[in-house]
Structure 1
Amino acid sequence: MVKAVIFDLDGTLLDRDASLREFLQDQYARIPQLQSISRSVYMERFIALDQRGNVWKDHVYRQLIEEFGFELQWETLLADYWDGFRLHSQPFPNAERMLEELRARSLRIGLISNGYGEFQMANFLALGFSALFDEVMISEWEGLRKPDAAIFKRMLDKLGVQAHEAIYVGDHPVSDVAGSRAAGMKGIWKYDPLLEEPEAHDGVLRDLGDLVGMLDEFKRG
C-alpha cells in the first residue's frame, strides 16, 4: 500500500527549461550591457554553457563575459540570477491539481532536491503549493546528495513510512530513479525527451496529472 509520494524539483515539478528562458529574457531586457549582442545569442549561449543546470552559474557568467566582453562583473550577474530566478519559476501542467489529489487521499508528500538550499527553497516556494508538502529536503542543508540511499532513507524516516510504502518521482535516470529504487522505493521516471529512459524503473510519467491513476494501478496490481 502506498502511503507516501516523494518528488524531485527541477525537471519534475519545476519546469526549469521554461523558467530559465523566461528569466534570461528578463535579465537581458534589464541589463543594458548584455545588449551588445542579440537576445537570442545571449540566451542560447547561456543555455549551452549551463548544461541543463549541471554547471554552476559562476562558471557560466565568467565564460559569457570572456567570450562577449561584457563590461560587467560575473558576481553582479550571479547575484541577479540568485535573486531573480525564483520570480520566473513555473510548474509543469497539472502539478498543483495532482498534489491536491494526493493530499485528498491522505498520502504523505515530500520533496528531495539536489542543490543550494536557499536557492532551491526560494524556487520551490515560488511555485505556490509548498503548503501541500509534509517535508522538504535539499542536499546542501542535509549534507547528502541523490543518488545516495541515505538521503532517501532520511526522508522516509521524516515521513514515518517504510521504503516499500513510498514512491519517488524524478526526471534523472540515476539520481532519482536508480537512487530511489536502490533505497527500496518504487522509482517513477518523469519523462524528459532529452534524457535516456532508465534501464530499470517502475513507470514512466509523461503528465503529472496521470500520477494518481498510476497509484491506482499499483494498488490493483
Structure 2
Amino acid sequence: MIKAVIFDLDGTLLNRDASVLKFVGNQYDRLNKGLSHISKEIYISRFIELDRRGYVWKDKVYQQLVEELNITTISWEMLLENYITEFHDSCVPFPNLIAALEDLKKESIRLGLITNGKGQFQMDNIRALGIDSFFDIILISEYEGVKKPNPEIFLKALNQLNVPANESAYVGDHPENDVTGAENVGMVGIWKRDLGWKDVKAQYVIDDLKELSLIIQELSKAA
C-alpha cells in the first residue's frame, strides 16, 4: 500500500519551460533601457539556449549572454540578481496541480518534495505556487548537501516521513535523477512525461498530474 508520495519540482509541479519564457520576457521589458539594442526575441531565445532547460546555472548563462549580445550598461551580476529575486513572480504551475495534491491528501497520503537547486530560490518558487502547506517534508539539495540521484537524499526523506521505501512513490520528469534514483532505493518511480527525453523506459507514466491519484490507488490495491 502506498503511504507516501514524494515529488520533484521543476518540470513536474512547476512548468519550468513556461515559467522561464515568461520571466525572460518580463526581464527584458523591465530592463529595456539597457537592452534596447537587442530584439526581445533574440534575448529570449538566446537565454533559453544557454540555459539548457535549467542545467546550466545562471551565472554562466548571464556572463555569456552579456558578452555575446554586447550588453554594456547592465552587468551579468545585476541580471543574475534580478533572476534570483524576481523569478518566483513568473512561476507557472502545471494543470491540475492543486487538485492532484488535494486528492492525495484526502486519501491520507503523506506528501514530500525533493528538488535539486538553490535553497531560498526553490523555496520562493514553491511558495509562489501556493503548495508549501501540502508537504510534510521539503528537501532542497543545497540545504541538504546532497542531490538526486544520490540515494542519501531519498532515504533522508523517507526517514523523515517515517514510511518504508516499498510503500512510497516518487514522481518526477528526469529519467535518471528522479525515476531511477527513486527505484534504486526501493521506491516506485513514476515518470511525468517530458518530451525533452527520448526512449524512456518507465513502468509508470503520467502525462497530467490528475492521473496520479488513479495510479496510486491501483498500486495500493495490488499490494
Partner of 2:117, secondary structure, is: coil
Distance in 1 separating the partners of 2:6 and 2:79: 33
Residue pair 1:180, 1:187 contacting (<8 A) in 2 also = yes
Deviation at 1:160, TM superposition (A): 0.6
Match of 2:47 in 1: 46
Distance in 2 separating the partners of 1:157 and 1:69: 50
Match of 1:161 in 2: 163
Match of 2:213 in 1: 212
Q: Are residues 197 and 118 of structure 1, via their aligned partners in 2, closer, same or farther at CA, if it must alter by over 3 Å?
A: farther
Matches within 5 A, 1:131-150: 131-150=133-152
Match of 1:188 in 2: 190
Partner of 2:36, secondary structure, is: helix
Deviation at 1:18, TM superposition (A): 0.4
Distance in 2 separating the partners of 1:48 and 1:35: 20
Deviation at 1:68, TM superposition (A): 1.1
4+ long deviations beyond 6 Å: none
TM-score (norm 1): 0.97
Between the aligned residues of both structures, percent identity stands at 49
**What do residues 33-81 of structure 1 show as CA deviations (whole Å, max 9, x unaligned)?**
1221111111000000000000011111111111111122110000000
Residue pair 1:173, 1:197 contacting (<8 A) in 2 also = no
Deviation at 1:198, TM superposition (A): 3.0
Deviation at 1:13, TM superposition (A): 0.3
Return the letter of the residue paired with 1:218.
L
Match status 1:92 vs 2:106? no
Match status 1:6 vs 2:14? no
Distance in 1 separating the partners of 2:150 and 2:131: 27
Distance in 1 separating the partners of 2:126 and 2:169: 20
Question: Number of aligned pairs?
Answer: 220
Q: What is the root-mean-square deviation of aligned Cα atoms in Å?
A: 0.9
TM-score (norm 2): 0.97
